Chain A
């Protein structure tokens, strides 16, 4: 097991009583600054992984370590404030302005108002939304792409070492999605944040991941570089690769 790992799964499993396991014996280390994308169909165990990391659930077997410490020993609230979270449907607070949404975790962390404000503006610049125009807007006044950018900015507000993303760019039109992916990679490289992202979209994985983990029925089938995954002959992987269309599956290697 890597001593430098930011997130480490040690034979981590989770199941509700008398049900098939949602996740079974996952072993994986996520290194600093890495983007790991878990891909799988609905029910493959993707969101279970995210919940284990931010301690919404505790592993039924094995252990999950964040920054070297077992999540059982972490205080859930403290842990979650160190972990940014971006949801598929963003979940911006509709009764708060863009500025208030982004500044929420700093406020929870009792930052001084001027520091929060400066940080909010800095983040708005980073995601390409001029603060003068967008700071005081309501979420309902934003386009889907803008909302998702604000969601990313909110997750990055206290510069967390870890970012969890759940289908972050799923609900966007293809052009916006491409644009956002590119910008996200720029920001991630700039900040060096460790990212765990889950999606059912193989193309998302190929676009963003340094490593792709393929999940099926709670099992990690493979976890490797995109190139290695593309060469896999495992039917549970090829089934997902087939969704990429003829261009990719024929000329992938």
Chain B
């Protein structure tokens, strides 16, 4: 708990920003849903033949898992793409159903005699709607808004997956680091926000039910919807396109730190930068780069060749880079020279074992493997280019059957002595923290994963400063540097921006 408080205290500016983004997401998406849903509900009530398919469509939208919905929307023009727009569409779709339902329900359950009285007094159908039906159905509609807003608080956390910010950023960051403190740092405020929203709208609903005045309701509802629309329009226009450079990153610590590194280096050249860090996986970053949603991010040569271009990676690092550069160039993207470190798989052992047994490379393991038990992540254990290939390439025969566990847990298992060798991440913060040693891959079994900035060529031509800024970093970020920065963020819980700033200061 004190850790959590400490986290919030040290991140209070960021927390406030994320909370604000979250609230804006919820208000706008619920407002949009109200603008669409209330008229749809009225239509469904007045014209059941049109209304039934409408309700059906809203029902269907509700059943699509939210991440899948994001996936569908990403490639679409106008409403799709990376960032707030797509992040808004999804909660809006989810909020539609409760609003349409309660609007229809509220209108259907009105006292017949009251409606009959309105008709008999010579109200036109729109007078009946605005003077009688809607004011009386308003408490039900607000009840629907309440459900929609609470759902919205939940769905908006997923918006972080596509770089729209919000409290979900902490949740995703925490998940990728398997750090419950960071997860809670986002999840608890989100839960509290849900309770506050629920309580506030429950109060409003209660007020409306007990109050019988007709005067303020219509205008107030209109004002709220109007405000949401204006805010939305403002937001829609704003995303800092124009002259600023947009830096992206994937959703794990190292990538966020690298994103900051690029961003600050470019800012040092006097160019304004928009950060869209924590975007998601490789696929999302690549899509964002090609669609122009971001101008640059850091990719790894091995990942680029296999995951982006579906080709085999040469095991020579230089060849791998050249191949990636060639493939990127065809798509209008320039791969700049690597930063200097290789984020490949690393075969890790305890430093004390390495010293005692004189282990330097994976070849040296052959002599001791008979008494050792290795531990691996599930994927590494399964993939042909993982464990099976490794033992074949190096002629290893382990005494104990390999233990399978979540990749993130293998470090701890090695440190605790439960296993004797793991395949980890060459830049993991835990290597130094748990006093582990990486053995040399002398046979180049693992493909190279050299980190290199990939930049839209058009952005590079428009802003030659980018090339200059990133030239400063070429070959300057070693594996040791990257491990230290990952450690500062993951274990010491320092801000990625601050860690990057310190590194840049030392560079000169």
Contacts and interface: CB of A to CB of B under 8 A. Distances in A.
**Size category, B interface:** 20 to 34
Given A85-B117, A87-B116, A91-B113, A77 B122 contact: yes
Contacts of B111: 91, 94
Contact of B212 (A76, A81, A140): A140
Interface in B103-160: 111, 113-124, 127, 131-132, 135-136
A81 B122 contact: yes
A108 B121 contact: yes
B114 A93 contact: yes
Contacts of A54: 120
A38 to B, nearest CB: 17
Nearest to A50: B120
A34 interface: no
Contacts of B118: 91, 93
Most B CB contacts (10 A, CB to CB) among A87, A95, A139 go to A95
B114 A100 contact: no
Contacts of A96: 212, 214
B65 interface: no
Contacts of A83: 120, 122
B270 interface: no
A112 interface: no
A122 interface: no
Nearest to B135: A95
Interface string A75-103: 01111110101011111111111001000
Contact of A80 (B115, B120, B132): B120
A88 B117 CA distance: 10
B219 to A, nearest CB: 14
Given A94-B136, A108-B127, A80 B212 contact: no
B119 A100 contact: no
A56 interface: yes
Contacts of B123: 77, 108
Contacts of A139: 212
A54 B114 CA distance: 17
A89 B115 CA distance: 12
Contacts of A87: 113, 116-117, 120
A81 B136 CA distance: 23
B242 interface: no
A206 interface: no
A105 interface: yes
Given A89-B113, A91-B117, A94-B136, A80 B214 contact: no
A105 B121 contact: yes
A89 B116 CA distance: 10
B82 to A, nearest CB: 46
A94 B120 contact: no
Contact of A138 (B114, B117, B212): B212
B113 to A, nearest CB: 4
A92 B117 contact: yes
A105 B122 contact: yes
A140 B131 CA distance: 18
A49 interface: no
Contacts of A76: 122
Contacts of B132: 93
Given A91-B114, A96-B212, A85 B136 contact: no
A94 B114 contact: yes
B213 A95 contact: yes
A181 B111 CA distance: 26
**Size category, A interface:** 20 to 34
A95 B123 CA distance: 16
Contact of A104 (B113, B115, B116, B121): B121
A30 B38 CA distance: 46
Interface in B210-248: 212-214
A105 B120 CA distance: 10
A145 B385 CA distance: 88
A175 B121 CA distance: 29
Contacts of B121: 80-81, 85, 104-105, 108, 154
Interface in A115-131: none
Nearest to A154: B121
B113 A90 contact: yes
A108 B124 CA distance: 9
Contacts of A80: 119-122
B122 A93 contact: no
B116 A91 contact: yes
B135 to A, nearest CB: 5
A105 B119 CA distance: 11
B113 A85 contact: no
B210 to A, nearest CB: 10
B418 to A, nearest CB: 69
A100 B213 CA distance: 10
Contacts of B114: 91-94
B214 A85 contact: no
A56 B136 contact: no
A94 B136 CA distance: 8
B353 to A, nearest CB: 79
Nearest to A90: B113
Nearest to A91: B117
A97 B118 CA distance: 15
A186 B124 CA distance: 33
B127 A93 contact: no
Given A77-B123, A105-B122, 20 more contacts: A77-B124, A79-B122, A81-B121, A87-B116, A91-B114, A91-B117, A93-B136, A94-B111, A94-B136, A95-B135, A95-B212, A95-B214, A96-B212, A96-B214, A97-B212, A97-B213, A108-B121, A108-B123, A108-B127, A154-B121
21 contacts: A56-B119, A56-B120, A76-B122, A77-B123, A77-B124, A78-B122, A83-B122, A85-B120, A87-B120, A91-B114, A91-B116, A92-B114, A93-B117, A93-B136, A93-B214, A94-B212, A95-B135, A96-B212, A105-B121, A138-B212, A154-B121
Interface of A: 54, 56, 76-81, 83, 85, 87-97, 100, 104-105, 108, 138-140, 154, 164
Task: Please name the 8 residue pairs, one residue from A and one from B, whose CB atoms are nearest each other, closest first.
Answer: A91-B117, A80-B122, A85-B120, A81-B122, A91-B113, A89-B113, A138-B212, A95-B214
